[in-house]
Amino acid sequence: MSVTAFILMVLVQGTVTILTGYFFWRVLRTPPKAEPDSYENEL
């Protein structure tokens, strides 16, 4: 494997890892949406 290919491989894997971590962190930090109470709508 050439040096250029190795550098490209490391950059791509690093980018994918960072993006995956970022979006995983966003999912964990997002507050849950309030679900409607089923007893509110009864007549």
Q: pTM to 2 decimals?
A: 0.66
Looking up tokens 């491989």, which residue turns up?
A: 9
pLDDT at 41: 63
**Amino acid 42: pLDDT:** 60
pLDDT at 10 over 90: yes
pLDDT above 70 covers what percent of the chain?
A: 86
Residue 43 has pLDDT above 70, yes or no: no
Number of residues written out for the chain: 43
Torsion of CA 22, 23, 27, 33, to 10 degrees: 120
Confidence of residue 35 (pLDDT cuts 50, 70, 90): confident
